[in-house]
Structure 1
Amino acid sequence: MPDASPRSPDPIPALIVKDHRVGHRDRLRERFLNAGAEGIAPYELLELILFRAQPRQDMKPLAKALLARFGSFAEVLTARPDRLREVKGIGDAAIVELKIVEAAAQQMVKGAVAKRTVLGSWAAVMDYCRAAQAFVEREEFRILFLDKRNVLIRDEVQSTGTVDHTPAYPREIIKRALELGSTALILVHNHPSGDPTPSQADITMTKQIVALARAMEIEVHDHLIVGRNGTQSLRKLKLM
């Protein structure tokens, strides 16, 4: 006997919503391989770096938050770990990935200076100093120690200060030069404000170092001041 009870209607198929995140990583990697860094946005380049820290999590919100907080791709890479941790969602694994990329970039530009006559590759020196210090949040006083052929012997940060001052110790600089057998120096420091214009204190300190170095037959080739907005040479400005 046929069933007289009313037949339930066929279920309406659930609406299938496509998640844009599915395959996003592969698409972004493919676009990067095909077009290079010029073919993707800065936040997408950050995403590619952060993918290694979180194998499955959507990294776009974090990448955009980092750019919003620090202002640029370079400033994200050079931000101190303690400041990076202030951004919600970032962990130590992500910070390590960012710092690896920063270190790799500095090694690349430093390679263009190492074992070469520094005065013959001045553009590379400027690039290296800018990569090393232009986006650092505190002032650092760096010395490039050169040998008699003007080849880089050692690159050292002598002191780290505040956002608008770092101490320089002329006697310690010359003492270190003598220890290394260095006959020439390039002085470098950064202005976290972004403006590389030398202050009167910068000029006075440079002249003190030059005078002391000259007495020990050590030449100071230049004092470079780097900032986000460019680089200034005290020698080019005729201030030393």
Structure 2
Amino acid sequence: MAEPSPPRGAPADPGGPKADKPHYHGHRDRLKARFSAVGPDGIADYELLELVLFPLIPQKDLKPLAKDLIREFGSFAEVLGAPEARLARVSGIGPKTALSLKVIHAAAQRIARGAVLKRPVLSSWAAVLDYCRAAMAFEEKEQFRILFLDKKNAVIADEVQQTGTVDHTPVYPREVVKRALELSATAVILVHNHPSGDPTPSRADVTMTKQIVDVAAPLGIAVHDHIIIGRDGHASLKGLRLM
């Protein structure tokens, strides 16, 4: 004999099945609140990455994905700096989210560049290094970049002159000087990256720098420094007394 149904409006049987909330319910709001309270320095890389991913991937627990990305690429900066194709291959990302992450990376580069252009490099050296790192540290191929300076040592142009292989970029000293003359630059800062991550200058780096100095000096163009950028930091040939 079937048991009678409870009267309409009666409370559900407390011993019956419950619709449990996901374990991450409210996590997004809690993390956003914590970010507002403590700022970016008070949260881990994977948590900052979660915050970036929230509007891109709604209604999903993103902590495992954020941790997977950090484990795959190494850091928050390296996730944003990773090639779009590699990001798209990560399970849970896909082409659309990969593109969005690269847009965010481009925005970060543009902000860093704005802190450098038209400003004297001697008073904004940390900003110069931050910009070069954001622009080049995580590239998979070597790039040779030049910052062109005016007579007040303000950056008037920033250009990638050559892109090479994973461990070599062809550089032509006369082309460097020719471009400096076209821009009426009186000094340059040379910058290139080491995709290996180690910024230690090679013998070829030192030789190439000397060649550019030798061609530029008679024309009144100073080479202030040659900076090598790697994921593990940077090296200054001037600071190392190699130029």
1:234 to 2:222 alignment: no
Distance of aligned partners of 1:162 and 1:6 in 2 relative to their CA distance in 1, 3 Å threshold:
closer
- Alpha-carbon RMSD across the aligned residues, in angstroms, is 2.0
| Structure-2 separation of matches of 1:15 and 1:106 | 49
**What amino acid sits opposite 1:110 in the alignment?**
R
Distance of aligned partners of 1:237 and 1:105 in 2 relative to their CA distance in 1, 3 Å threshold:
same
Report how far residue 214 of structure 1 moved.
1.2
**What amino acid sits opposite 1:103 in the alignment?**
A
Deviations 1:124-163 (A, max 9, x none): 2222222222222221111001111111111111111222
Task: Answer yes or no: is the 8 Å Cα contact 2:118–2:154 preserved in 1.
Answer: yes
Report how far residue 99 of structure 1 moved.
2.0
Match of residue 195 from structure 1: 198
**143-152 vs 61-70, which moves further:** 61-70
Deviations 1:39-94 (A, max 9, x none): 32211211111122123233223222211211111110101101112212212332
Counterparts in 2 of 1:58-207, with a 5 A limit? 58-207=61-210
Match of residue 218 from structure 2: 215
| 1:235 alignment partner, SS class | coil
1:33 to 2:71 alignment: no
Q: What TM-score comes out, normalization by structure 1 length?
A: 0.89
**84-93 vs 203-212, which moves further:** 84-93
**162-171 vs 107-116, which moves further:** 107-116
Task: Answer yes or no: is the 8 Å Cα contact 1:188–1:225 preserved in 2.
Answer: yes
| Structure-2 separation of matches of 1:96 and 1:52 | 14
Task: Answer yes or no: is the 8 Å Cα contact 1:49–1:97 preserved in 2.
Answer: no
| Structure-2 separation of matches of 1:229 and 1:40 | 21
| Structure-1 separation of matches of 2:236 and 2:123 | 16
| 1:186 alignment partner, SS class | strand
Unaligned runs of 5+ in 1: none
Unaligned runs of 5+ in 2: 7-12
| 2:110 alignment partner, SS class | helix
Deviations 1:162-181 (A, max 9, x none): 22111112122111111111
Task: Answer yes or no: is the 8 Å Cα contact 2:141–2:165 preserved in 1.
Answer: yes
For these two proteins, the number of residue pairs brought into alignment is 236
Report how far residue 23 of structure 1 moved.
2.3
How high is the sequence identity, in percent, across the aligned residues? 61
**144-153 vs 127-136, which moves further:** 127-136
Distance of aligned partners of 1:218 and 1:111 in 2 relative to their CA distance in 1, 3 Å threshold:
same
Equivalent in 48, 51, 56 of residue 54 of structure 2 = 51
Task: Answer yes or no: is the 8 Å Cα contact 1:52–1:97 preserved in 2.
Answer: no
